[in-house]
Chains A and B, each alone.
Chain A
Amino acid sequence: MLQIVADGLIIGAIVSLGAIGLTLTFSVLRFSNFGHGEFLAWGAYFAFTALSFFGATAAGKAMPIAPFSFGLPLLAATAVAAGLTALLVLLLDAALFRRLRQQGAITLVIASFGAALALRNLLLFFYGGVPLYYSQDLQIALVLLPRSVSGGLRITPDQMFVLGLTLFTVVGVHLFLSRSTLGRAMRATSMNPQLARVAGIDPERVLRATWVVGGVLAAVAGVFAGLTVQLRPTLGLDLLLPLFAAVILGGIGSVWGAVLGGLIVGLAESAAVHIVGAEYRAAAAFVVLIAILLVRPTGLFAEKTG
């Protein structure tokens, strides 16, 4: 029982991070971006490439930081991946989305669909379809509770790292949105774009900032997905439905809603794996999605929009 919860929280942490970025772009740019999953996948693969660069140098030969399976190189690689993913997202916006913004939300959705397809298959082209790993070492799970207590609880140090850093990141995003000028400008634009413009907020700058925040969070989530599961070109496609379910569950535009939604989706997936079987895992997010659309389509914490 506890194991289901722990597994669910780890999946949920990854979904949450991705969902924050998606909910921000959803509310500021006003379209559902089907390419967001690919940002996670590209972030994960960028980190893989950066890691292999570091690995070729002497500094990269550093020992893993006990008890994790990775050392400073992976942290540095994540930072590089975050930067590169943000750049990729900005390029995509300049090449595609900005040109279509006048045509309405649905055209943007179609464009994001085409972009997702191209991005995913570029990954397949560059890296091939074989799953990759950041580290070849097997990590032994720590036994936190023996099997006799509620079925036991085992968790790897890497998984604990993912949970800890997710919490850290979520608090950071919250502080950024509530305290910084740029973050407040983003929230203002999401609530009422016209009024925000009247108040002297440069909409293009806010849009760029939103893309960057979404891209950075996606890269971090992607690295976490690669760290706890594996890297594969369909990583983004497989996470897209959980991401959307989390965003709608939490209410579009709500950061804490996205976090909670992500955790609920993660728990649902984990429960589905234990109850129905791993083959129906992906359907869990869909069931959550349909349930929330039937019961409360505005989500749990809908931001009041103008």
Chain B
Amino acid sequence: MSELGAWQGWLLGWISYGSFFLVFACSYAVIVLGLNLQWGYTGLFNVGVAGFVAVGAYTSAILTTPEAADRVGGFGWPVAAGWAAAMLTSGAVGLLVGAVALRLRHDYLAITTFGVAVSIQLLATNLQKLTGGTFGVQFIPKPLQGWLGTGLVWNLAYLALVALLLFGVYSALQTLTASPWGRVLRAIREDEAAAESLGKRAYFYRLQSFVIGSMLMGLGGAMSAHFVGYIAPEDFLPILTFQLWAMLIVGGAGNHRGAVLGAFLVWGFWTTAGGLLRGFVPQAEQARAAALQVVLIGMLIALVLVLRPRGLIGEKVSAAVGK
């Protein structure tokens, strides 16, 4: 009996850990799909992904939380409305950034988005009345909590929800990029002059792709925020951007399946490395070991770029397209 109980406990522990792992992986996958639309399909290099994710997470958190004494809020919106608003605000930031930087040379978008992420980090830390400052936003509601409680059942239900959303986003993008619109994106990426000469205005297509990608980043941010129930500025440091980029590069840019695969693999790699470090490194050295964990991710990006530039399953190269 007791042996069976232990075995059950072990199983429950793994299911609980697995649902935790998979919810994050699905949220990241949605973000990486957005990044893939920007970079993989349109060639737009966004270095401020964490900023767009933060905007979405904060928007939904502020709109859906109950009243808090020390900051503006108490809107108590339904979670679904919060998520829609998250997509809208992240998309709006994307529109602003795109309007400034997309007409200019490619690197300028990278530098501008980097600046956006730095500025959003500053705002999240310092606009205490709105964001709660370094303490962040707490008590972010978990949807359907009233029916399902907050235990394992809720975790699994939430996992089902985010998995469904991921599938929805994936299918929508698959349709979108296979459509004539998607072909124009790739045409502009490969040869802008040729696309323009066919009457396709590159700037507008780029802007559309950038905004849609930004919206998905906002959605992904909101998805993970409502799972954890708590966000703070330190959740959106540049390291998040690096992790997301690592996911896309490892999986393979220009391929939706690659983006999702990369998200699951790199997140697995990251949590395993973190778990090993926590398990084998003495307490006093853990901060240093965590730095080493980040070095590993940086080197992983560099290695994949050098050894397998297209990632595990990158874009299918058609005969006409030479990079």
A and B form one complex = yes
Footprint of B on A, CB under 8 Å?
A: 31-32, 34, 96, 99-100, 103-107, 109-111, 113-119, 121-122, 124-125, 128-129, 237, 240-241, 244-245, 248, 279-280, 282-283, 285-286, 289-290, 293-294, 297
Residue of A nearest to B108 (CB): A293
From B112, B118, B323, A282 is in contact (CB under 8 Å) with B118
A31–B45 CA distance with the chains assembled, in angstroms: 13
Pull 12 A–B residue pairs with CB atoms less than 8 Å apart, ordered by A: A31-B107, A32-B111, A96-B306, A106-B110, A109-B47, A110-B245, A117-B242, A117-B295, A118-B299, A244-B111, A248-B108, A286-B115
Residues in B neighbouring A115, C-beta threshold 8 A: 298, 302
Q: Is the CB of B239 within 8 A of A117?
A: yes
A99–B60 CA distance with the chains assembled, in angstroms: 43
Residues in B neighbouring A100, C-beta threshold 8 A: 305-306
Residue B291, interface by CB 8 Å: yes
B residues 116-172 with Cβ under 8 Å of A? Answer: 116, 118-119, 122, 125-126
Q: Is the CB of A293 within 8 A of B100?
A: yes
Q: Is the CB of B106 within 8 A of A282?
A: no
Q: Is the CB of B305 within 8 A of A124?
A: no
Footprint of A on B, CB under 8 Å?
A: 43, 45, 47, 100-101, 104, 106-108, 110-112, 114-116, 118-119, 122, 125-126, 238-239, 242, 245-246, 249, 287-288, 291-292, 294-295, 297-302, 305-306, 309, 323
Q: Is the CB of B100 within 8 A of A117?
A: no
Residue of B nearest to A117 (CB): B298
Main secondary structure of the interface of B (DSSP, over half): helix
The minimal Cβ–Cβ distance linking B82 to chain A, given in whole angstroms, is: 27
Residues in A neighbouring B100, C-beta threshold 8 A: 290, 293-294
Residue of A nearest to B307 (CB): A99
How many inter-chain contacts with C-beta < 8 Å in the A-B complex?
Answer: 126
Query: When A113-B47, A117-B242, A118-B298 are in contact, do A286 and B118 touch as well, CB less than 8 Å?
Result: yes
The minimal Cβ–Cβ distance linking A226 to chain B, given in whole angstroms, is: 20
Q: Is the CB of B302 within 8 A of A109?
A: no
Residue of A nearest to B99 (CB): A294
- Most-contacted residue by chain B among A106, A122, A294 (CB, 10 A): A106
Q: Is the CB of B299 within 8 A of A109?
A: no
A13–B104 CA distance with the chains assembled, in angstroms: 28
Q: Is the CB of B114 within 8 A of A244?
A: yes
A41–B279 CA distance with the chains assembled, in angstroms: 31
Q: Is the CB of B242 within 8 A of A114?
A: yes
Q: Is the CB of A110 within 8 A of B249?
A: yes
Q: Is the CB of B106 within 8 A of A105?
A: yes
The minimal Cβ–Cβ distance linking A53 to chain B, given in whole angstroms, is: 22
The minimal Cβ–Cβ distance linking A25 to chain B, given in whole angstroms, is: 12
Residues in A neighbouring B291, C-beta threshold 8 A: 121-122, 124-125
The minimal Cβ–Cβ distance linking B119 to chain A, given in whole angstroms, is: 5
From A103, A110, A125, B45 is in contact (CB under 8 Å) with A110
Query: When A96-B302, A103-B309, A106-B45 are in contact, do A113 and B122 touch as well, CB less than 8 Å?
Result: no
A285–B112 CA distance with the chains assembled, in angstroms: 11
Q: Is the CB of A32 within 8 A of B110?
A: yes
Residues in A neighbouring B104, C-beta threshold 8 A: 293, 297
Residues in B neighbouring A240, C-beta threshold 8 A: 114
Residues in B neighbouring A279, C-beta threshold 8 A: 122, 125-126
A113–B288 CA distance with the chains assembled, in angstroms: 21
Q: Is the CB of B302 within 8 A of A293?
A: no
Query: When A109-B107, A279-B126 are in contact, do A121 and B295 touch as well, CB less than 8 Å?
Result: yes
Q: Is the CB of B301 within 8 A of A286?
A: no
Query: 8 additional contacts, CB 8 Å, given A114-B305, A121-B295, A293-B112?
Result: A34-B47, A110-B301, A113-B47, A114-B242, A115-B298, A119-B298, A125-B288, A293-B104
A75–B294 CA distance with the chains assembled, in angstroms: 33
- Most-contacted residue by chain A among B119, B125, B309, B323 (CB, 10 A): B119
From B107, B111, B292, B309, A121 is in contact (CB under 8 Å) with B292
The minimal Cβ–Cβ distance linking A253 to chain B, given in whole angstroms, is: 13
Residues in B neighbouring A128, C-beta threshold 8 A: 287-288
Q: Is the CB of A117 within 8 A of B297?
A: yes
Residue of B nearest to A240 (CB): B114
Q: Is the CB of B288 within 8 A of A111?
A: no
A245–B115 CA distance with the chains assembled, in angstroms: 9
Task: Give the 5 A-B CB pairs with smallest separation, nearest first.
Answer: A118-B298, A114-B301, A117-B298, A124-B291, A32-B107
The minimal Cβ–Cβ distance linking B46 to chain A, given in whole angstroms, is: 11
Residues in A neighbouring B287, C-beta threshold 8 A: 128-129
Residues in A neighbouring B239, C-beta threshold 8 A: 117
The minimal Cβ–Cβ distance linking B125 to chain A, given in whole angstroms, is: 7
Residues in A neighbouring B118, C-beta threshold 8 A: 241, 282-283, 286
Residues in A neighbouring B300, C-beta threshold 8 A: 114
The minimal Cβ–Cβ distance linking B281 to chain A, given in whole angstroms, is: 12
From A110, A118, A237, A248, B111 is in contact (CB under 8 Å) with A248
Residue of B nearest to A100 (CB): B305
Q: Is the CB of B108 within 8 A of A241?
A: no
From B106, B115, B302, A118 is in contact (CB under 8 Å) with B302
A285–B116 CA distance with the chains assembled, in angstroms: 11
Q: Is the CB of B114 within 8 A of A107?
A: no
Q: Is the CB of B294 within 8 A of A117?
A: yes
Residues in B neighbouring A107, C-beta threshold 8 A: 305, 309
The minimal Cβ–Cβ distance linking B59 to chain A, given in whole angstroms, is: 20
Q: Is the CB of A289 within 8 A of B111?
A: yes
Q: Is the CB of B306 within 8 A of A99?
A: yes
